[in-house]
């Protein structure tokens, strides 16, 4: 690495720096709490973490003490020295240090693996590296330990629960301060906090993890989005379907889900008892919608057939993955499948991408999205894919050609494909930088044949169609989470659960408030009236905190003139206007899907 590469703009240097800090953390832990056992400690996108097996729970006081010790280690300018050992000696060293997790890691290394260690002062850790050459390279006042959470050893819920200390580090203190300020802002926008405070959703221990309850506000927003999506899909030639939430295992055996996705499904019955019926809640809709196509014989003139459904799905996610509305076990998705001739593939793929972009742009999420071309891994040890190498090479060649022709800028994700085909994943990050898939478009050249799907071509021959699996807006719950975070709870007027709050100044104005509400409701707006005998200032403050887009203050003057005093939540300004004028303004804002 040249001198000009020793900056955080260089990802390799940034990871090396933060990996070194994770070792400084581990050294501090062993100094202050020598009974603690070490697990692993990598650099991550936002900083680093280290997993520990401790006989106590790490508190903020522990983290503060560790930060102080880490600063001392930085000032000591300890050189980091790499050395290698044969397997037996490496194992003996970690046994002598009473580090059972390190011993297990050594045992699991391949036969020909180079087993390396890094030593800094009295501390030695099993590690492949790389690291900085000295702890003195790290700025001790630019380190922050941010949290301590639980983490299963090696990510296996059947193994011991360890404690993971997260932290971050920068070359300068002002960079750390700026990052911490961003994190504080992110916490304020976190949908898991803000969504509950604004009463969009809640959870209940007696219902279970990953099963959120949408409260009236959240349910209303999702209803609005669902109607919008279904109407838009109808304009684009989609046929609406409604299919069952469960099916016998026979269906999933045909589709391949029984072989490739069984652990991710909720099973009703004994999956190993062939004598009794066994059902499973659906993790996706594709095998169900294929039955619509199979209802009768199809001609080439029937294609493309675009099937759309607002689908409730069930996936047995690991409990450690649950997060608010983003990672859940039951969710609703704008799912669709296009059955088509091979010569229609590019045009229909383009149509799916256009729809996805239109949805994201309208929602105001497009600017933060990235694209990933998710491909198979032929060396996958779990045999998670259907089809031959030739079929996968052809599917990925075709999809790559389409993406390049459409000018899509993408990253490649190896081993991220569906088990039946490659896909374009539209990725989005939450306020903390955690990335998830929001929308996916998949090319499938395999499942139609498994289901016996055919069409009669113009030459009278029976042919096998291609299938595109796609979502137009993705998961409604996840999208709601991102919207709450993007707009800090102040959703655009067109999708806000409450668009207008009417506030009579006194009881004398209550009847006029009823008239205003009735007129607004007649035009399809969502309106509430605050009749309480509270000061108008308090009513306004509460409506502002609840992110209501417009507040209509009605006093004697407004009542006599047939007007409304309109307060906009964005700037707090109040403008008096005829009610008809406000209705026109609101209608335009809603019809054009204004983002503010």
What's the pLDDT score for residue 155?
84
What's the pLDDT score for residue 445?
87
Name the β-bridge partners of 551.
501, 567
* 523 has a pLDDT exceeding 60: yes
pLDDT digits (tens, 9 = 90+) for 333-369: 999 999 999 999 999 999 999 999 999 999 999 999 9
Using alpha carbons only, give the angle 150, 152, 156 rounded to the nearest 5 degrees.
155
Instruction: State the Cα–Cα distance between residues 440 and 372, nearest whole angstrom.
Output: 9
Distance of CA 180 to the CA centre of its chain: 22
* 5 has a pLDDT exceeding 80: no
Instruction: State the Cα–Cα distance between residues 143 and 127, nearest whole angstrom.
Output: 21
What DSSP string runs through 426-445?
EEEE-TTS-EEEEEEEEEES
Q: Which pTM does this prediction carry?
A: 0.83
Give the C-alpha distances (Å, rounded to integers) separating 512 from 44, 252, 502, 526: 59, 60, 10, 17
What DSSP string runs through 100-166?
HHHHHHHHTS-TT---EEEEETTEEEE------SBGGGS-GGGEEEEEEEEEEGGG-TTS-EEEEEE
Containing 567, the helix (H) or strand (E) segment is strand 563-568
Reference 210, options 322, 48, 58; nearest CA is: 322
pLDDT band at 2 (very low <50, low <70, confident <90, very high): very low
Instruction: State the Cα–Cα distance between residues 119 and 126, nearest whole angstrom.
Output: 9
Give the C-alpha distances (Å, rounded to integers) separating 257 from 185, 287, 450, 539, 592: 41, 9, 12, 54, 42
Angle between helices 345-363 and 216-235 (to 10 degrees): 140
Reference 44, options 164, 136, 182, 132; nearest CA is: 164
Q: What percent of the chain lies above the pLDDT cut of 70?
A: 99
Cis omega (within 30 of 0) for bond into 30: no
Placement of tokens 């499973």 in the chain: 280
Placement of tokens 């260089």 in the chain: 10
What's the pLDDT score for residue 507?
93
CB contact at 8 A, 548 and 526: no
Placement of tokens 């019926």 in the chain: 277
Cis omega (within 30 of 0) for bond into 130: yes
Placement of tokens 């707009």 in the chain: 487
What's the pLDDT score for residue 4?
55
Give the C-alpha distances (Å, rounded to integers) separating 586 from 12, 494, 591, 595: 51, 9, 9, 13
Find the mean pLDDT for residues 518-527. Answer: 97
What's the pLDDT score for residue 1?
45
Structure-block tokens of residue 247: 């099916």
Q: Is the dihedral of CA 283, 284, 289, 294 positive or negative?
A: negative
pLDDT band at 383 (very low <50, low <70, confident <90, very high): low
Instruction: State the Cα–Cα distance between residues 559 and 544, nearest whole angstrom.
Output: 23
Instruction: State the Cα–Cα distance between residues 378 and 384, nearest whole angstrom.
Output: 9
465 DSSP 8-state letter: P
* 258 has a pLDDT exceeding 50: yes
What's the pLDDT score for residue 481?
96
Find the mean pLDDT for residues 317-331. Answer: 86
pLDDT digits (tens, 9 = 90+) for 84-139: 999 999 999 999 999 999 999 999 999 888 999 999 999 999 999 999 999 999 99
Reference 545, options 257, 116, 306, 198; nearest CA is: 198
533 DSSP 8-state letter: S
* 35 has a pLDDT exceeding 90: yes
Question: Phi first, then psi: what are they for 81, rounded to 5°?
Answer: -115, 125
Pairing mode, strands 161-169 and 47-53:
antiparallel
Instruction: State the Cα–Cα distance between residues 113 and 345, nearest whole angstrom.
Output: 46
What's the pLDDT score for residue 300?
97
* 429 has a pLDDT exceeding 70: yes
Other Cβ atoms closer than 10 A to 198: 20
Instruction: State the Cα–Cα distance between residues 438 and 49, nearest whole angstrom.
Output: 27
What's the pLDDT score for residue 290?
97
pLDDT band at 589 (very low <50, low <70, confident <90, very high): very high
Distance of CA 241 to the CA centre of its chain: 26
Reference 465, options 490, 447, 441; nearest CA is: 447
* 146 has a pLDDT exceeding 80: yes
Question: Phi first, then psi: what are they for 204, rounded to 5°?
Answer: -140, 130
Is the model more confident about 227 or about 571? 227
Containing 457, the helix (H) or strand (E) segment is none
* 321 has a pLDDT exceeding 80: no
Structure-block tokens of residue 542: 């509460």
């Amino acid at each position: 690495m040249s001198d000009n590469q020793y900056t955080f703009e260089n990802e390799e240097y940034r990871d090396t720096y933060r990996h070194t800090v994770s070792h400084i953390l581990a050294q501090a832990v062993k100094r202050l709490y020598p009974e603690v056992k070490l697990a692993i400690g990598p650099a991550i996108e936002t900083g680093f973490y280290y997993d520990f097996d401790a006989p106590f729970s790490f508190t903020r006081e522990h983290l503060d003490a560790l930060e102080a010790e880490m600063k001392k280690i930085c000032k000591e300018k300890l050189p980091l020295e790499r050395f290698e050992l044969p397997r037996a000696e490496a194992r003996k060293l970690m046994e002598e240090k009473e580090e059972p997790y390190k011993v297990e890691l050594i045992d699991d290394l391949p036969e020909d693996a180079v087993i390396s260690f890094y030593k800094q002062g009295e501390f030695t850790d099993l590690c492949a590296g790389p690291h900085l050459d000295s702890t003195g390279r790290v700025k001790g006042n630019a380190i922050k330990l941010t949290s301590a959470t639980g983490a299963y050893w090696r990510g296996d819920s059947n193994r011991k629960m360890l404690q993971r200390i997260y932290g971050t580090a920068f070359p300068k203190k002002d960079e750390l301060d700026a990052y911490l300020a961003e994190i504080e802002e992110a916490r304020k926008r976190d949908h898991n906090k803000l969504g509950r405070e604004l009463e969009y959703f809640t959870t209940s221990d007696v219902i279970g993890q990953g099963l959120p309850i949408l409260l009236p506000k959240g349910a209303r927003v999702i209803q609005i989005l669902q109607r919008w999506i279904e109407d838009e899909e109808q304009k684009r030639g989609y046929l609406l379907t409604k299919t069952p939430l469960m099916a016998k295992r026979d269906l999933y055996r045909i589709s391949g889900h029984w072989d490739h996705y069984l652990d991710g499904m909720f099973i009703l019955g004994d999956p190993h008892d062939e004598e009794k019926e066994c059902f499973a809640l659906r993790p996706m809709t594709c095998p169900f919608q294929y039955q619509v196509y199979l209802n009768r014989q199809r001609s080439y003139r029937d294609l493309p057939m675009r099937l759309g459904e607002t689908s409730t799905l069930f996936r047995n996610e690991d409990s450690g993955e649950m997060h608010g509305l983003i990672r859940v076990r039951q969710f609703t998705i704008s799912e669709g499948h296009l059955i088509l001739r091979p010569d229609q593939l590019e045009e229909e793929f383009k149509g799916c991408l256009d729809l996805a972009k239109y949805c994201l742009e309208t929602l105001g999420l497009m600017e933060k999205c990235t694209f990933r071309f998710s491909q198979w891994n032929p060396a996958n040890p779990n045999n998670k894919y259907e089809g031959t190498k030739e079929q996968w090479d052809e599917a990925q060649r075709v999809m790559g050609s389409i993406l390049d022709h459409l000018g899509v800028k993408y990253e490649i994700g190896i081993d991220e494909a569906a088990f039946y085909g490659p896909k374009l994943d539209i990725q989005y990050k939450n306020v903390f930088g955690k990335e998830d898939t929001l929308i996916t478009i998949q090319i499938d050249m395999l499942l139609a044949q498994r289901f016996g799907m055919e069409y009669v071509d113009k030459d009278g021959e029976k042919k096998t169609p291609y299938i595109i699996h796609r979502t137009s807006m993705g998961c409604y719950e996840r999208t709601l989470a991102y919207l709450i975070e993007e707009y800090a709870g102040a959703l655009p007027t067109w999708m806000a659960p409450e668009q207008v709050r009417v506030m009579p100044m006194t009881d004398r104005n209550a009847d006029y408030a009823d008239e205003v509400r009735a007129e607004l409701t007649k035009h399809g707006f969502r309106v509430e009236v605050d009749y309480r005998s509270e000061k108008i200032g308090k009513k306004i403050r509460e409506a502002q905190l609840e992110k209501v887009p417009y507040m209509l203050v009605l006093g004697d003057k407004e009542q006599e003139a047939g007007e409304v005093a309109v307060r906009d939540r964005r700037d707090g300004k109040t403008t008096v206007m005829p009610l008809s004028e406000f209705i026109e303004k609101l209608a335009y804002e809603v019809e054009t899907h204004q983002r503010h």
